[in-house]
Structure 1
């Protein structure tokens, strides 16, 4: 029984190409885009205002939200702080009455309760949810495009290498182009 090494190599190369395609498509399917938003509440009763990012000294609270399309963005709520004391301590407002603002240290128990209340008070607006859905859709489309382009380039290079190796081996073995064995 004769073994056709070239046919075997072609089948292995085809199998590797199929496996690579399945892996790339599978990774593109399970990709969930990472969308972040930051909001700041300047005072306890102030509405949330979208911001580019939290300041370094701000207290950051992470909130949960889900858009109508099912996207779960990473929401950061920024609480501005003020310096006090000689050792770099920071404080922020937690309650506001007619003429008084109550402030606490960022590590105080009242601060933890305020952060929890702030997280529970947060709601995505319809406009922000639509913007997040649009960004997530754009990121998914970009992921698919990048994946398929990478797959096409990778497979083209792989098959060019397979062809080149076959051409070199046939040349050394004295096998004519288009054949898998020497003529008798």
Structure 2
């Protein structure tokens, strides 16, 4: 019995193509798309709003929140960094009385001098006095900023994260984001499926053409003509 190498190669290629197609479709159907919704606090005192992502200079807090009656989702809460006078990017964490207030201006000056002289106790006392002063909305807004790792900044971030809740519009946006990610997963799976099949069959046809050329077998035939 003569062995038909070309027929066997076609069957192997067909079987591999079938397994490839099943694997791609199984990935699209059974794999849960990775979704990490991001909400950003644009400025101090602002409510978190949906965002695309966080920059590396921003502060990020990961937490799990209730999305529906029986569903909890993981989200990223992003605190947008602002540029300080020295050029570095810091996280706004507390609004205080403005230096436009004459009394506050004197306290700011004394506090700055205490810090310059290294009088930590006096500086802390003056800081507490500033924090206790009422804020006048008619004066320029003054917001203190700090590094993400500062204790005051971490306390502000943790308190806001603990009080964060998804609104109905946020849940609707979240569902739309999931549908978008699912469609992207299907599109990627189909691209890999048809791209892999095209490459596989092109390689099979190319190898067959080369082998037939060496053996003197006409195109479309499995044997040399008698």
Q: Tell me which residue corresponds to 2:214.
A: 172
State how many pairs are aligned. Answer: 182
Shift of 1:131: 1.2
Tell me which moved more, 156-165 or 52-61: 52-61
Q: Tell me which residue corresponds to 2:205.
A: 163
Aligned 1:54-65 pairs, distance under 5 A: 58-65=58-65
Unmatched 5+ stretches in structure 2: 97-130, 136-141
TM-score for the superposition, normalised by structure 2: 0.59
Shift of 1:52: 6.2
- Give the secondary structure class of the aligned counterpart of 1:64: strand
Aligned 1:24-103 pairs, distance under 5 A: 24-29=24-29, 30-40=31-41, 42-43=43-44, 47-50=47-50, 58-65=58-65, 67-68=67-68, 72=73, 74-78=75-79, 92-93=93-94, 99=134
Which of 114, 120, 129 in structure 1 is aligned with 2:171? 129
TM-score for the superposition, normalised by structure 1: 0.69
Unmatched 5+ stretches in structure 1: none
Q: Tell me which residue corresponds to 2:121.
A: none
Cα root mean square deviation, aligned:
4.0
Q: Structure 2 vs 1, CA of residues 132 and 181 (structure 1 numbering), >3 Å: closer, same or farther?
A: same
Whether contact under 8 Å (2:63, 2:161) holds in the other structure is yes
Structure that is richer in helix per residue: 2
Post-superposition CA distance 1:28-58 (Å, at most 9, x none) = 34251434323217556x6434456667765
Output the CA distance in 2 between the equivalents of 1:170 and 1:128.
62
Whether contact under 8 Å (1:38, 1:77) holds in the other structure is yes
Structure of larger gyration radius: 2
